[in-house]
């Protein structure tokens, strides 16, 4: 049995019409359903029995009935009712309702307020229209409009539409930007407010013609937003609608670059025509000069060969050099003119020479050439392929030079050169023999001098034993002088033997890292020179050279020993070892000190045997070290030199070949 409230709702619903094509609904301020027709219930996927169960003897909750889930939807509905309560009217509300299957549909509520006799709000009475299809169509239209706008905005042309009142109804971004505006700012403006005033007298007559149905196209110059002149191709197209023209389309295509290109091409063509005319005259003059020159030269011949290898043009210079008339040679192959390069009296393989010219653009031949009378001359021929701008072969130019006298001179020179080489070899052998004899002599002399020295030392010792005591002091001085001189002579003999040995020793070059070599020598000298304090500066990135490690250690040992010796009287002694880039694959190593130095005017004898720059009473030595060092360096295909000044120290430079492993230099 239905309750009284349910009967009341049913009666009222029947009153408003359950069969209405739209939904009918009454809500109180608490969003409870006072009235609802069957049409709306069917939209919601419910029937009257289900509605009664939700009402449960009272009023059904509309948010539950309509499955409203979003708080925003509920708030819109409440605001709609509040507006009805306060003003009695409300703006139609679009609301999304949910059906039984989980899908939604959109309705538009048009409501009015129903009040009690005292004026108090009782409930709303609303008609609901399903606008889902309309909403879908509107969305499609909006999407299409946006797509159309996007397409036109991406078009470089300036597009616009004006109605008969000359009011802009549509434009793309390019059109608006052309006038320094946005598209939304242009739409709704009259044409006179968009264009510049000075342009209107030109445009308005064309607008009148296009509104009469005439399509117009022309080119126009307009001032751009940056003040520069721009050129446009302008199209006016009427919007023809049966018997009327409600508006027209405008399209402006920027052709500034095209116009500039056309102007450039036009001017370039004029300039080109003038140049072609001038060049043609120059070519004619040049051809005449070339013809005169080629005919006038004496020891050269110029002629031309066609792509098939036959002589096509035979100049007077060619007739004169080869002794053949025009009719004797034109059409014949180069075989008739040249012989093989080996000098034999066999014809030249002309096709091989032509193929080389075709492939490389040029070919050369040097050998004997034949004259018409059977004699021959030594010639040098240069063949050059002649191609047009499309790289199509047009022919071959041949320049032949008579080198008979040059060859005769070259043969004489070659014979003299062979004789000179033979003499040099003979002199070199003689010098090598003399050097070997000199080394052998030096070794023999030095070796034979040792025996007398031993006797001198023995007799000095014997004199010490037989001398009277009272005469011992004076004679001891003589004896000491004799012993010192004997020791010095022994050292000189040792030096001679070493010098001779260095001339005979065989050097097998190997990589020699200089950094550990220098560090080892410096360490030995530091120990020997204690307690002296010497500031050493050794480059740890010294290169690796090619040579004998023992002999190179002897060279740098002598240089560093001299540096230690000649800085003995300097308080702040410094010795520096470094390197410099050399030439031809060599490196330069230097040893620098701040010692006493010497006068470079006296350096001419610096590397000679037994020559000294300082007195032996000041610095010990016999003047052999630098001579031995120079001979070792020269045996390594290097060189040694120095820079010095009195009181400013000395720097020795040694240039040696850099060590090579495979294709890589150390």
Q: What is the CATH number of the domain that holds 657?
A: 3.30.565.10
Nearest to 437 by CA among 392, 388, 500, 485: 500
Distance CA 105, CA 107 (A): 7
Pair of tokens at residue 623: 């003047």
Do the Cβ atoms of 31 and 61 come closer than 8 Å? yes
The reply to whether 594 and 517 lie within a common domain is: yes
- Is 283 part of a structural domain of the chain? no
- Is 262 part of a structural domain of the chain? no
CATH of the domain at 416: 1.10.287
Beta strand pairing status for 573-581 and 534-538?
parallel
Nearest to 227 by CA among 180, 297, 167, 288: 180
Which residue segment(s) compose the domain that 323 sits in?
297-402
Distance CA 635, CA 505 (A): 9
- Torsion sign over Cα 27, 28, 30, 32: negative
- Is 627 part of a structural domain of the chain? yes
The reply to whether 518 and 653 lie within a common domain is: yes
CATH of the domain at 96: 3.30.450.20
Task: Count CB-CB contacts under 10 A for residue 587.
Answer: 23
- Is 634 part of a structural domain of the chain? yes
- Would you state the pLDDT for residue 165? 93
Task: Count CB-CB contacts under 10 A for residue 12.
Answer: 15
- Would you state the pLDDT for residue 248? 95
Q: Of the candidates 130, 153, 186, which is a domain's last residue? A: 130
- Torsion sign over Cα 205, 206, 209, 210: negative
- Would you state the pLDDT for residue 212? 92
Return the DSSP state at 246. -
Terminal alpha carbon distance of the chain: 114
Residue burial 71-84, b: 16+ Cβ < 10 Å; e: rest: eebeebbeebbebb
Give the phi and the psi of residue 97 in degrees, each rounded to 5: -110, 160
Which residue intervals of 71-215 are DSSP H helices? 71-87, 132-153, 173-178, 183-186, 191-194, 200-211
- Is 632 part of a structural domain of the chain? yes
Do the Cβ atoms of 249 and 237 come closer than 8 Å? yes
The reply to whether 124 and 145 lie within a common domain is: no
- Is 267 part of a structural domain of the chain? no
Q: Of the candidates 444, 474, 498, which is a domain's last residue? A: 498
Q: What is the CA radius of gyration of the chain?
A: 58
Q: How many domains does the chain have?
A: 5
Q: Per the confidence metrics, is the pTM higher than 0.75?
A: no
Distance CA 629, CA 639 (A): 10
Do the Cβ atoms of 195 and 222 come closer than 8 Å? no
Distance CA 518, CA 35 (A): 114
**What does pLDDT average to in each consecutive run of 10 residues of the chain (666 residues)?**
51 60 88 88 87 86 87 89 87 87 86 87 88 82 76 81 92 87 89 89 92 91 80 92 90 86 85 83 71 61 84 83 82 75 56 83 82 81 85 84 79 82 78 63 58 65 63 59 60 56 69 93 88 90 90 88 86 92 88 86 66 51 72 87 88 90 48
Pair of tokens at residue 444: 């023999």
Distance CA 543, CA 500 (A): 30
Q: What residues contact 76, with CB distance under 8 A and at least 6 apart?
A: 93, 95
The reply to whether 396 and 422 lie within a common domain is: no
The reply to whether 511 and 654 lie within a common domain is: yes
Q: What residues contact 612, with CB distance under 8 A and at least 6 apart?
A: 621, 622, 623
Distance CA 327, CA 491 (A): 92
Apex 259 CA angle, 254 and 265, nearest 5: 150
The reply to whether 124 and 180 lie within a common domain is: no
Nearest to 81 by CA among 140, 45, 33, 17: 33
The reply to whether 393 and 429 lie within a common domain is: no
The reply to whether 599 and 649 lie within a common domain is: yes
DSSP code per residue over 613-652 = SS-TTTS---S-HHHHHHHHHHHTT-EEEEEE-TTS-EEE
Distance CA 256, CA 241 (A): 34
The reply to whether 532 and 599 lie within a common domain is: yes
The reply to whether 570 and 661 lie within a common domain is: yes
- Is 43 part of a structural domain of the chain? yes
Peptide bond into 448 cis (omega under 30): no
The reply to whether 523 and 630 lie within a common domain is: yes
- Is 275 part of a structural domain of the chain? no
Q: What residues contact 611, with CB distance under 8 A and at least 6 apart?
A: 605, 623, 627
The number of angstroms, rounded, from the C-alpha of 219 to the middle of its chain's C-alpha atoms is 45
The reply to whether 154 and 110 lie within a common domain is: no
Q: Of the candidates 197, 231, 254, which is a domain's last residue? A: 254
Torsion of the alpha carbons at 357, 361, 367 and 368, rounded to the nearest 10:
70
Distance CA 600, CA 607 (A): 13
């Amino acid at each position: 049995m239905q309750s009284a409230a349910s009967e009341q709702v049913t009666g009222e619903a029947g009153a408003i019409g359950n069969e209405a094509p739209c939904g009918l609904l009454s809500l109180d301020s608490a969003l409870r359903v006072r009235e609802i027709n069957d049409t709306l219930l069917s939209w919601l996927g419910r029937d009257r029995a289900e509605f009664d169960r939700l009402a449960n003897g009272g009023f059904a909750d509309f948010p539950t009935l309509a499955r409203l889930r979003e708080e925003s939807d509920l708030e819109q509905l409440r605001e709609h009712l509040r507006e009805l309560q306060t003003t009695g009217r409300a703006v139609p509300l679009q609301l999304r309702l949910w059906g039984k299957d989980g899908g939604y549909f959109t309705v538009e509520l048009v409501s009015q307020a129903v009040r009690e006799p005292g004026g108090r709000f009782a409930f709303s009475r609303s008609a609901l229209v399903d606008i889902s299809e309309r909403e879908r169509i509107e969305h499609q239209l909006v999407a299409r409009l946006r797509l159309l706008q996007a397409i036109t905005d991406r078009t470089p042309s300036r597009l616009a539409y004006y109605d008969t009142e000359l009011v802009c109804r549509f434009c793309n971004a390019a059109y608006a930007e052309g006038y320094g505006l946005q598209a939304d700012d242009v739409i709704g403006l009259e044409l006179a407010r968009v264009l510049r005033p000075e342009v209107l007298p030109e445009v308005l007559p064309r607008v009148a013609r296009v509104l009469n149905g005439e399509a117009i196209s022309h080119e126009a110059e307009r001032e751009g937003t940056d003040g520069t002149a721009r050129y446009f191709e302008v199209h006016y197209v009427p919007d023809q609608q049966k018997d009327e023209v409600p508006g027209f389309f405008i399209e402006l295509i920027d052709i500034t670059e095209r116009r500039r290109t056309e102007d450039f091409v036009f001017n370039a063509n004029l300039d080109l025509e003038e140049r072609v005319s001038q060049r043609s005259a120059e070519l004619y003059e040049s051809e005449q000069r070339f013809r005169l020159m080629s005919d006038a030269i004496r020891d050269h011949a110029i002629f031309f060969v066609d792509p098939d290898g036959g002589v096509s043009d035979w100049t007077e210079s060619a007739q004169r050099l080869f002794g053949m008339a025009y009719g004797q040679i034109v059409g014949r192959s180069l075989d008739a003119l040249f012989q093989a390069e080996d000098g034999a009296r066999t014809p030249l393989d002309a096709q091989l020479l032509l193929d080389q010219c075709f492939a490389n653009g040029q070919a050369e031949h040097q050998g004997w050439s034949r004259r018409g009378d059977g004699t021959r001359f030594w010639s040098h021929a240069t063949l050059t392929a002649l191609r047009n701008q499309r790289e199509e072969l047009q022919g071959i130019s041949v320049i032949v030079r008579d080198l008979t006298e040059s060859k005769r001179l070259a043969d004489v020179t070659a014979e003299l050169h062979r004789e000179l080489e033979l003499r040099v070899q003979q002199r070199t052998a003689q010098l090598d023999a003399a050097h070997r004899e000199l080394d052998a002599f030096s070794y023999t002399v030095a070796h034979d001098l040792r025996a007398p020295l031993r006797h001198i030392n023995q007799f000095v010792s014997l004199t010490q034993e037989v001398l009277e005591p009272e005469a011992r002091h004076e004679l001891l001085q003589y004896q000491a002088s004799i012993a010192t001189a004997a020791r010095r002579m022994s050292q000189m003999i040792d030096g001679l033997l070493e010098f001779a040995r260095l001339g005979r020793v065989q050097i097998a070059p190997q990589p020699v890292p200089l950094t550990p070599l220098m560090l080892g020598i410096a360490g030995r000298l530091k120990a020997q020179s204690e307690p002296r304090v010497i500031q050493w500066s050794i480059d740890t990135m010294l290169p690796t050279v090619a040579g004998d490690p023992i002999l190179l250690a002897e060279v740098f040992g002598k240089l560093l020993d001299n540096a230690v010796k000649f800085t003995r009287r300097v308080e702040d002694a410094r010795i520096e070892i470094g390197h410099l880039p050399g030439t031809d694959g060599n490196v330069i190593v230097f040893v620098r000190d701040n010692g006493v130095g010497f006068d470079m005017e006296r350096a001419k004898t610096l590397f000679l045997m037994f020559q000294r720059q300082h007195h032996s009473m000041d610095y010990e030595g016999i003047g052999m070290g630098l001579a031995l060092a120079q001979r070792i360096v020269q045996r390594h295909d290097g060189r040694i030199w120095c820079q010095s000044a009195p009181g400013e120290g000395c720097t020795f430079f040694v240039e040696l070949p850099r060590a090579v492993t495979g294709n890589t230099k150390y």
